Amino acid sequence: MKSERDSGAKQALSGRRSFLGLAAAGLGGVLIAPGIHLIEVAQAAARGTAPAGANAKVRWGLLIDTTKCASGCSDCVSACNTENGLAAPTRPTDAQWIRKIEIKSVATGRAQSLPVMCQHCAEPPCVDVCPTGASFKRADGIVLVDRHSCIGCRYCIMACPYQARSFVHEPLTAQKPEVPRGKGCVEGCTLCVHRIDAGGGPACVEACASAGHHAMLFGDLNDADSEISHRVREVASKQLRPDLRLDPGVRYQGLA
Amino acid sequence: MNPRFGPAHFYALLGLGLMLVGVGLGSAHYMESHGHVVTGMNNHVVWGLPHVFAIFMIVAASGVLNVASIGSVFGQSVYKPRAPLSGLLCLAMLAGGLMVLMLDLGRPERLIVAATHYNPSSVFAWNVLLYSGMFAIVALYLWTMFERSMNRHSKAAGVAALIWRFVLTSGTGLIFGFLVARQAYASALLAPLFIVLSFAWGLAVFLIVQSAMYGWNEQQLDPAIQRRMARLLGLFVAAAVYLVVVYHLTNLYFARQAAFEAFILRDGGIYPLLLWGGYAVAGTALPLLLLFHPRLGGPRTTLLAAALVVAGAFAWLYVFIIGGQAFPLEIFPGHVASSSFGDGAITHYVPRWPEWLLGLGGIGAAFVLTTIGVRALDFMPQDDFAALKAEPKGSV
């Protein structure tokens, strides 16, 4: 009787082992196979594309003169929304690539108004933390999100000291072809990279100049002869949260 | 020995677990179809309630394996028979936590991208390796326990699992610890804090599951074992609260952190309420009283204490994760700021039902895996009482 029971138990154990072995092999195959396939596809695609890169000698940047930036003026924000196909924000879930911030010194009471967008850091924390490398810095200093490899983990939003990124909370329609956007991905100011690559500058800077404020200046910080380089040499300007030493490409003049 | 409860009980439990998983998956599909706008999250609180569930399960998964480590690495015989169950719970909770984390992604269908595109400077990417490695190591560890010819390698596998989970839980803490600009985070203390929290949360979960298994099998846990495990839970809870206190004291000492601490400890509404009422009183003081009071400490009070520790864990994580994001970033130190994007303002966040259901789906997945594991393999602890009596008094 005892030996029968033992033999039954052994059979059950053996069946259980085969089942577990098969299950483990099957699960391993299911998990690994698509990855291998995708790596092959990605490598094949990479072989077929010509490298198109930004100029590593350039460091695009902005100088914002807060003394010329009027409280209540939001021309730069409207221009950004129009250029990039963003709806005017009404809720905390809506994307804002640039916003006007009103600040007041606690010690002196001095009030100022200024635009804040992605600061295009030389040491961007969003790029460091991104698990897939979707957050990246171009050779010319522009920090972007690759919408094809962003998995929407939002870790970059947690890491950004400037609250400069937004998560697309809803399905989008009628996006602009030159500004790829999509639900479930993170996005932020691209410095109007599509315009820069076509030889232009950011829409916010253009709008500010068109309105006669001239509070924003765009240019190559690496070119000693550029207007922005002259200005940052001549006038006092500062980066936001300089204590973090992220070396943002956006500088502010007149910020107390 | 398999549990005595019959197939009907097993299928009923399995059905309940699968129902939770189904609800969680349905909720994830709803979030995926409509976008995260159907949750309470926004551009300031980007990690909501699903992260609370996920991080609880991942941290507790690491801690629950402590039971196995104490047995096979540190040679405590009370814990040895509990090592397989501890390994199973580790795998189950890790799977449940990762399920929630993955399904809360903005693009969960791109999970394969995370596996094929790897940024070596990202703590998140390190954790992808750490979590998958944990599955492999614990599976190997379980194999060395179940396969008699491999028993001699059990200690080596146990040491590997012990080291791996220290790194893994440090990695989970450092997801926050490496966030340079957030007042709530950016602290190296978060790595050891998460390790100690994992000990308490993991043991609490283990005690709850063990109690349920003994109850369903109409068995009684040996009172001496029960008292030892209760005492150990008490020690872990006390060690965890020590590090939590140090974390807040450090912040209170730094003038630049004063406003954040005032928010979390006093002025922040739901956050101080959960921190003091949920974590400090219900999740720490009360369990310590139940576990160490000479007239208490029986099986029921230990179970109650373990449940309170788990409730306290959720309260603490809610305050830590959500409260840490609700407090505004200090972009302009020394200034009051305001904007249409909520600069300078406390973010309002209330979790909505898809988040609750996704989190519960993760718990359901862990429950299903545990139920199947316990049914299919021999996870019920078998105590060797002769060996236990030979152990010196005062062992953990």
User: Where are chain B's structural domains?
Assistant: 9-178+352-378, 182-201+217-347
d(CA B111, CA A193) in angstroms, rounded, equals 28
> What pLDDT score was predicted for residue B395?
52
Tell me if B124 and A155 make a contact (CB, 8 A cut-off): yes
Amino acid at B150: M
pLDDT digits (tens, 9 = 90+) for B281-324: 999 999 999 999 878 768 889 999 999 999 999 999 999 999 99
Look at A117 and B72; give whichever has higher pLDDT: A117
Number of Cβ atoms within 10 Å of the Cβ of B233: 25
> What pLDDT score was predicted for residue A49?
47
- Report domain extents, chain A: 1-51, 60-253
> What pLDDT score was predicted for residue B215?
85
The tokens describing B81, both together, are 């028979």
Cα angle, residue A161 at apex, residues B185 and B114 outer, rounded to 5°: 75
pLDDT over 70 at B39, yes or no: yes
Q: What residues of chain A, 183 to 242, have a C-beta less than 8 Å from chain B?
A: 183-186, 240-241
Local structure of B344: helix, strand or coil: coil
Does domain A60-253 fall under CATH 3.30.70.20? My reply is yes
Cβ neighbours of B122 in A, within 8 Å: 128-131, 155
Residue of B nearest to A165 (CA): B43
- On whether the CB atoms of residues A62 and A251 are closer than 8 A, the answer is yes
To test the contact with chain B by mutation, choose from A167, A173, A244 the residue with the greatest count of B C-beta atoms within 10 A, namely: A167
The residue among A99, A108, A242, A158 whose CA lies nearest residue B338 is A99
Count of positions (residues) in chain A? 256
Tell me if A151 and B182 make a contact (CB, 8 A cut-off): no
Residue of B nearest to A34 (CA): B112
Q: Alpha helix locations (H) across chain B?
A: 7-34, 49-64, 66-72, 83-103, 111-116, 123-146, 154-177, 190-216, 223-253, 258-262, 270-272, 286-292, 299-317, 324-326, 353-376, 385-390
Look at A17 and B362; give whichever has higher pLDDT: B362
The tokens describing A192, both together, are 């109007």
Cβ neighbours of B42 in A, within 8 Å: 91-93, 169
Confidence class for position A24, pLDDT limits 50, 70, 90:
low
Distances (CA, A) of A22 to A15, A113, B110, B130: 11, 65, 27, 25
What is this structure's pTM? 0.89
pLDDT over 90 at B223, yes or no: no
The tokens describing B97, both together, are 């936590």
**CA distance, residue A76 to nearest chain B CA (Å):** 14
Task: Average the pLDDT over A94-98 and give the result.
Answer: 96
Tell me if A162 and B329 make a contact (CB, 8 A cut-off): yes
pLDDT over 80 at B394, yes or no: no
pLDDT over 90 at A2, yes or no: no
Tell me if B341 and A99 make a contact (CB, 8 A cut-off): yes
Task: Average the pLDDT over A131-160 and give the result.
Answer: 96
Q: CB-CB: which of A132, A163, A165 is closest to B113?
A: A132
Residue of A nearest to B123 (CA): A129
Q: What residues of chain B, 188 to 247, have a C-beta less than 8 Å from chain A?
A: none
Task: Average the pLDDT over B30-58 and give the result.
Answer: 97
